[in-house]
Amino acid sequence: MTQQQEAPPPPVIKTAEEIAIMREAGLIVAEALQAMREAVRPGISTLELDKIAETVIRDHGATPAFLNYAPGNHPPYPATITASINNELVHGIPSAKRILKEGDIISLDTACFHKDFVGDAAFTIGVGKIHPMAQRLIDHCEKALWAAIEASVAGNRVSDVARATEKYAHKHGYGVALEYTGHGVGRKMHESPQVPNWWPSGRRLRRNQIQHEDYMLKPGMTYAIEPMLIAGRNELAELEDGWTVVTKDKSLCAHCEHTVAITDGKPLILTLP
Ligand code: MG
């Protein structure tokens, strides 16, 4: 799940023991995502996918982290996953009425609490046979995530991670979501730092547009990176349900996410199967 703009306190540095627990949480999330990946097909409802993920999470003795989550003015979130179809970018609410069709693309995102720590991850997948341009969008979203993961090394800053996503997306002709960000993960689902998909530069920086705290990355920091790539204009709207975020021009968009831990070397990808 993404975070909206707000100013959180400094990042919490986790111990090796805490990161080991977060890896367990990440593996539960990975298993839930994999179970949904195998179930995606024309004719299945997003509520059925939700139940698949919830079953995996509860079978491990973990708790769905999205369920009843209610930040800011949002109503309590009613499900285990977010299921965002086609021009829905993030936070689509599962429903028995939302039946997947051949050619759709869907972003599936879930998180759990396990031994008081959170794992959070997402992917976008095609339903049946999809248009090559839709597949291209999904593939580049994944590659943008890997570019941002590569930038997640001690001594870099949050802005290096954000710019890695932005640079990759722009190079391939996609916009990124401006108003939603990745986020620190730990005992809470949304901690510091915010990890945007972009970083202001030039005119935007001079105008002081959306300034995030540019923390230096240190071993023990744990955060979720979540590229949100948009094929059309990056103007977004929130639907009346108080959650679902869509592109105003109805263009396709993709979202993927891993939770990572900063180390002395390469980052640990806590939600990688
Ligand atoms: Mg998230």
Average pLDDT estimate for 199-222: 80
Q: Is residue 5 situated within a structural domain? A: no
Give the domain range for residue 251: 16-206+213-269
- Report pLDDT for 204: 64
Dist. CA 21 → ligand 1 center (Å): 18
Q: Is residue 10 situated within a structural domain? A: no
| pLDDT at residue 210 is higher than 70 | no
Confidence band, pLDDT 50/70/90 cuts, at residue 73: confident
Dist. CA 150 → ligand 1 center (Å): 18
Q: Is residue 97 situated within a structural domain? A: yes
Dist. CA 182 → ligand 1 center (Å): 6
Total number of domains in the chain: 1
Q: Is residue 254 situated within a structural domain? A: yes
| pLDDT at residue 212 is higher than 90 | no
CATH code of the domain containing 199: 3.90.230.10
Average pLDDT estimate for 42-61: 98
Q: Is residue 108 situated within a structural domain? A: yes
3-state SS string over the chain?
A: CCEECCCCCCCCCCCHHHHHHHHHHHHHHHHHHHHHHHHCCCCCEHHHHHHHHHHHHHHCCCEECCCCCCCCCCCCCCCCEEEEECCEEECCCCCCCCECCCCCEEEEEEEEEECCEEEEEEEEEECCCCCHHHHHHHHHHHHHHHHHHHCCCECEEHHHHHHHHHHHHHHCCCEECCCEEEEECCCCCCEEEEECCCCCCHHHHHCCCCCCCCCECCCCCEEEECCEEECCCCCEEECCCCCCEEECCCCCEEECEEEEECCCCCCEECCCC
Dist. CA 145 → ligand 1 center (Å): 13
Dist. CA 117 → ligand 1 center (Å): 14
Q: Is residue 131 situated within a structural domain? A: yes
